[in-house]
Amino acid sequence: MRVQVVVLVVLATILEVIGSIVWGAYRYRLENLPLYVPAGHGLFYLAALRVASLPLLERHARGIVVAVTAGATLWMLVGLARPPLPDLLGCVTWAIFIRFIVRGRYPLLYAVSFAMTTALELYGTGLGIWRWAPVLPGLMLPAGNPPTGIGAGYAAMDALTRRTITRLQRRSGAPATWRVSTADRDIVNS
């Protein structure tokens, strides 16, 4: 679990530097990468893993996944109709989220992460801590503040983290200390 969180923090920090400082898809209020952001990614990911493994949520996993997916879809459609520009980045990231919900191994984790990320994005952008560019530099893709499907980022980072750890284990010849299982709780409790 520790390795998983550390790898995610490293990957998320690299993506933060690229997304905010280099590319300018979003900018923090002081035009830097605040020191709390990398650690925050680790705490956020760990919280999502723990929340998704709660027995109450596991018992109602299908309903939660359907409800979050329906809410994400409705919010994405509203974003497409919102003036002055449609939230096309939100539509693209929503499609990525749907891919993880339909084909991913951990739909409850992805739904929980999506809901938590959405709440955090609304809070952070609402306070002006960061702001998304109205049009993504280079791609000329209109984006909401925040993009409606941005919660898909943690599903992608989870998949990238698991893939990275598996490759590192193969290269080192070390036995797998954790395995990808069908239940999120197996990962949380390992």
The lowest-confidence range among 20-34, 52-66, 106-120, 173-187 is: 173-187
When the pLDDT of each residue in the chain is averaged and rounded to a whole number, the result is 91
pLDDT score at 83:
85
**With bands split at pLDDT 50, 70 and 90, how would you rate the model's confidence at 37?**
very high
Whether the pLDDT of residue 187 is over 60: the answer is no
**With bands split at pLDDT 50, 70 and 90, how would you rate the model's confidence at 177?**
low
pLDDT score at 176:
58
| Token code pair at residue 149 | 């499907």
**With bands split at pLDDT 50, 70 and 90, how would you rate the model's confidence at 175?**
low
Whether the pLDDT of residue 156 is over 80: the answer is yes
| CA separation for the pair 59, 129 (Å, rounded) | 36
Mean pLDDT of 65-91: 96
Q: Is 79 left (phi over 0), alpha (psi -120 to 50) or beta?
A: alpha
Mean pLDDT of 64-86: 96
